[in-house]
Structure 1
Amino acid sequence: MKWRWLAGSVILAVIVTMLAGCSSLIGNPARMEQTDASKVLTIGTTADIESFDPHNNNNTASEAVLVNMFDYLLKNDNDQKKVPVLATSWEQTDDNTWRFKLRQGVKFHNGDPFTAADVKYTFERIAKDTSLKQNIYFKNIAEVRVIDHYTVDIVTDGPEPLLLNRLSKMGAGILPSHYIDTNGMAAFLNHPVGTGPYQFGQWIKDDRVELVRNDNYFGSKPKWNKVVFRAIPDSASRVSELMAGNIDIATGVPSTDIERIQHTDGKAIVKTPIQRVLQIILRMSEGSPTANPKVREAMDLAIDKQHLVNTVAGGTGIVTRTSVTPGNFGANVSLYKQSLYNLPRAKQLLQEAGYRSGGPAITLSVFSPYKPYAEAISTMLDQAGFKTTLDVLEPSVFSERYSSKSFKEAFMIGIGNSLFDASNNFNRYLKSEAAGETDYNNPQTERLLQAAAINMDTVSREKQYQQVQQILAEDRPAIYLFQMEGIYGIDHRVTFKPRKDEMFYVDEITTSS
């Protein structure tokens, strides 16, 4: 059976790594000329980008910037419907093959024409290079066949129920094959080139990314002359910059600052539930105290999740025992809005685990924006009998530990879901992926995850992921805390409606005047 999609017109978290081999300032100063201040948009973010390689980033903070430079074949609108970008139509010709018709007349920022060769280069690179952070999401692509200059077949090595989801998320940004073949990847990283509505201006690492309008964009004329993404990890500093009028939008506003911003002339708060779930991931390696299931259960029962939401989060959040929230394929709603807080039982579990005179020593690593949550959780754990050490890290250090899987017993992280599918959250618990991080290994979970990955029947596939969530809720390789809300402070000169996926498609942001 052939399925055909013909779409209409083109409609953070938060971790960061260092970019090896790049200077702290890259760009073309000549491009950063003086411009009308009313046409400059400045966004204060929690973290800098990892790099300008869309295939080698793994956090929302990076993707939220890069989506303005690198187009996808298709993307999600605000309702998560697929809309065309560099592809104008697509159809599934058999279980393993999708055919895409490409948009003609598109040029990269350096003037090179966009063709099927760029699609082939992009997806065969990310599918074959296992060193790339996004490889895990695209490794099932076996081949990209060029039919003609503006037609490609993407062939997978088996049934792939999520190909369209993958092509509209982080990692699917189209690269300029001729430019990279001619100049090399190092040159590309120093002066990146995409097809998007905004092009590279300059990058001052750990400070800001500046993008400038692409006057040759194939779609609607870009609304801003320049867009500045300022990396301001400290939340108090972000809010201060908003209040001083130095930024238009501040991400990740703490609950303690909401009222102050709301009562300041010319400022406002906007918020929306997002895909991100705050969680604690636990090491189950032999010899670790968290290898003991009673210890993991005691941690879960010692944490009063609703108290965290009511106090530290200022009431913005929904407690959960799963990281797949409603609105994502495969959500198990029986685990949503659920918490098992029971301090007496947590103390009893530690005794049953053999800790009668002193609880287990736990190091909880967290990157700085989540410090208030970690401090509250540390107090709760210690009340149950744990001996908790907080390890508060700057974003770059946290990212290095995350990439190298070198945390001790536990680390806290907010994980989003750009796929809008349960697989995005749970493939980390496949034995091969869990090795070195959680070392989780449950044969039943493994079978279900492997089967769901190639299951083209949506009904049975959904049940597989719901069963996985039930197992993980009992095994506890992670303790899920609550679904977060995106809280943004804005200047009244801009109109901004936050997206659930936390992206900043900057042309969706307009001036209020």
Structure 2
Amino acid sequence: MSQRTIAVVGAVAVAALVLTSCSGGGGTASGNNQLDVDLSNLATTTEPGTAPIDEVTWNLPYEPLSIDPMLSFNYAENTVDANLCDSLLRLNPDLTTGPGLAESVDMPDDTTVVYSIRNDVSFWDGTPLTAADVVYSLARQSGEHNGDSYFGEYLTSVESVEQTGEHEVTVHLSEPDALFNQAMATAAGAIVSQAFAESAGPAFGTPQGGLMCTGPFSLESWSAGKSIVLAKNPNYWDESLIPKAEKLSFTFIADETTAVNALRAGDVDGQYFYLPPTGLNQLQGDSGATTTFGKSFVYFTLAGANQEGPFANPTIRQALLLAIDRQAIADVVFQGAAAPAPTLAGPDFWGDQAAIYEPAFAEFDVASDPEEAKRLIEGLPEAGETITIAVQGSSAVHEQTANLIQAAGESIGLKIETKVIPVEQYGNMYYDPAAREGIDAFFTTWYGNVTDPLDVYAVFTTDGASNFGNYTGVNDAVAEARATLDDEARAQLTVDIQQQVTEELPWLPLTYMPPILVQSDRISGATASIAYLYYPWAATIGGVE
């Protein structure tokens, strides 16, 4: 690496214009069953609300399992935590990275990262944020505790974390790691109160144990099965993000139709949808609500779930993807609110390396070719075995996509069955190997966390927590790229990784998906981009005068 100071302001993510090149000739979908969305002009923010407001009610698609930030690697959990817990760095709505609780970062060498911690920050209980809290928060996810965190793979290179000044923390890495510092803008870098967490013990982050962070909202209450209520933190250190809402209350409506009806009736003020629900086109036309589509790190994929079975054969995967009409999935299942994906990592990941990624991206297309698919699997014994795909209950997107894939598979001689998993249990697929027993593949709306395509492909490391089928084809290449701190050189290496992954298909790329933000017309200001998972998206919500 030529320079020894880390810039904490990243490049603006590339606009989604490239998506229109593979979206059937236009960025705006129309028609009776499609949504009004311009995929070439996705939003990062919405107009900030100007008026104070007593309470904002927000729906989550399920109740969080925990709000301990190191256990928040899912949509509902991060949607709540983003307003509660600040990280060392901050992922901004435009997908750049800026200062957070660390006002600056330096690297005296390739394996040493030094964070200068703000000296004007307090936890909700009034106790000051200290360097010791930062050391504790990183140490509880690294070293011998690395497996305790859902973000642990970002901290595998951490050798030690120590306080090196009154407001300074130094992280020593066992090897150069390009993803470590970038991840400090996610919940991997979230800082909690050491005293509170140690006092709460295993209950920390639960309805019984509570939470203590520094964010613009504090945790007022968590009534299990009913609601989570956050209260305005009037002493928040970032004066530009002191909330206008006195309270932010979360409900847990899992059923899509019920959630849409609650929004239309005004019982709920807003929701982020990571899949377009049935009835969203009617909601979009409702004068009482505004729908915004945001820049995104989200992609819809069929992920291999096991090392054995027919789907473990890459030729079966290649044939199935060739049979699938990804454009139809984007247009019909996603109602025009998605673009067919030729690779897993889409354009919004490219940052300032678009000149390298765009030509490589253009080498792939989304055309289906059933005849070639039939040729690929001719004579393969696995072609006669049943492929079982897990489908999330209460999800029309999962059900409809499964139907299209079943038909595509049948057209080339593959037998595909589905297994419906209740929405409350579907998250177990990610963490519990027992939940994946008997499953060959499952749908996931996977999201990356930082503006770097390597973040997508880094899941494919041997025995990695999210490498469900334990695909090992790019393990060494990922390690090399991750140890490359020069952005341009790392991009070149990542292009090669992308080429191999897209050929061998441990996960089948289906569509790129913008977050779908719905706000009642009495409020405005929520973050529209995928940054809402880590940025305090509700701090700018206010009433509309």
Q: TM-score range by the shorter chain?
A: 0.7 to 0.9
Q: Give the drift of 1:295.
A: 1.4
Change in 2 beyond 3 A, CA 1:383/1:399: same
Q: Which ranges of structure 2 fall in alignment gaps of 5 or more residues? A: 10-50
Determine the C-alpha separation between the residues in 1 that align with 2:461 and 2:199. Answer: 39
Change in 2 beyond 3 A, CA 1:126/1:413: same
Q: Which ranges of structure 1 fall in alignment gaps of 5 or more residues? A: 8-35
Change in 2 beyond 3 A, CA 1:423/1:492: same
Percent identity for Structure 1 against Structure 2 = 23
Determine the C-alpha separation between the residues in 2 that align with 1:435 and 1:275. Answer: 17
1:208 is aligned to 227
1:510 is aligned to 542
Matched, 1:438 2:466: no
1:60 is aligned to 75
Which one of the candidate residues 427, 433, 448 is aligned to 1:417? Answer: 448
Determine the C-alpha separation between the residues in 2 that align with 1:467 and 1:133. Answer: 27
Determine the C-alpha separation between the residues in 1 that align with 2:423 and 2:280. Answer: 24
Change in 2 beyond 3 A, CA 1:419/1:50: farther
Which one of the candidate residues 428, 451, 455 is aligned to 2:480? Answer: 451
CA offsets per residue over residues 445-475 of structure 1, 9 Å max, x none?
A: 2221111111122222111111111111111
Determine the C-alpha separation between the residues in 1 that align with 2:177 and 2:347. Answer: 23
Q: Which amino acid letter does the alignment assign opposite residue 512 of structure 2?
A: Q
Check whether the contact 2:52–2:245 (CA below 8 A) recurs between aligned residues: no
Q: Which moved more, 1:89-98 or 1:176-185?
A: 176-185
Which one of the candidate residues 429, 436, 455 is aligned to 1:401? Answer: 429
Determine the C-alpha separation between the residues in 2 that align with 1:398 and 1:256. Answer: 19
2:140 is aligned to 125
Matched, 1:246 2:246: no
Partner SS, residue 505 of structure 1: coil
Matched, 1:351 2:353: no
1:106 is aligned to 121
CA offsets per residue over residues 262-289 of structure 1, 9 Å max, x none?
A: 3323222221242111000124624x11
2:496 is aligned to 467
Matched, 1:174 2:191: yes
Which one of the candidate residues 51, 55, 59 is aligned to 1:44? Answer: 59
1:16 is aligned to none
Change in 2 beyond 3 A, CA 1:4/1:427: closer
Q: Which moved more, 1:422-431 or 1:495-504?
A: 495-504
Q: Give the drift of 1:38.
A: 3.9
Q: Give the drift of 1:388.
A: 1.6
Change in 2 beyond 3 A, CA 1:80/1:230: same
Q: Which moved more, 1:290-299 or 1:253-262?
A: 253-262
Check whether the contact 2:329–2:340 (CA below 8 A) recurs between aligned residues: no
Determine the C-alpha separation between the residues in 1 that align with 2:247 and 2:428. Answer: 31
CA offsets per residue over residues 187-238 of structure 1, 9 Å max, x none?
A: 5642211111111122234543211112332222321111012222221111
Determine the C-alpha separation between the residues in 2 that align with 1:46 and 1:202. Answer: 19
Q: Which moved more, 1:246-255 or 1:149-158?
A: 246-255
Determine the C-alpha separation between the residues in 2 that align with 1:269 and 1:501. Answer: 17
Give the TM-score normalised by the residue count of structure 2: 0.82
Check whether the contact 2:256–2:277 (CA below 8 A) recurs between aligned residues: no
Partner SS, residue 93 of structure 2: coil
2:46 is aligned to none
Q: Give the drift of 1:170.
A: 2.1
Of structures 1 and 2, the one with the larger relative CO (CA 8 A, separation 6+) is: 2
Q: Give the drift of 1:176.
A: 0.6
Determine the C-alpha separation between the residues in 2 that align with 1:63 and 1:306. Answer: 30
Check whether the contact 2:330–2:338 (CA below 8 A) recurs between aligned residues: yes
Partner SS, residue 433 of structure 1: coil
Counting only pairs closer than 5 Å after superposition, residues 135-174 of structure 1 correspond to structure 2 as: 135-174=152-191
Check whether the contact 1:60–1:502 (CA below 8 A) recurs between aligned residues: no
Matched, 1:341 2:362: no
Which one of the candidate residues 311, 318, 322 is aligned to 1:301? Answer: 322
Give the TM-score normalised by the residue count of structure 1: 0.87
Change in 2 beyond 3 A, CA 1:375/1:273: farther
Change in 2 beyond 3 A, CA 1:405/1:185: closer
Determine the C-alpha separation between the residues in 2 that align with 1:269 and 1:436. Answer: 34
Counting only pairs closer than 5 Å after superposition, residues 15-54 of structure 1 correspond to structure 2 as: 38-54=53-69
Change in 2 beyond 3 A, CA 1:302/1:229: same
Q: Which amino acid letter does the alignment assign opposite residue 256 of structure 2?
A: S
Check whether the contact 2:5–2:105 (CA below 8 A) recurs between aligned residues: no
Partner SS, residue 442 of structure 2: strand
Q: Which amino acid letter does the alignment assign opposite residue 420 of structure 1?
A: T
CA offsets per residue over residues 406-425 of structure 1, 9 Å max, x none?
A: 42211110111112222322
Q: Give the drift of 1:44.
A: 1.7
Determine the C-alpha separation between the residues in 2 that align with 1:436 and 1:458. Answer: 25
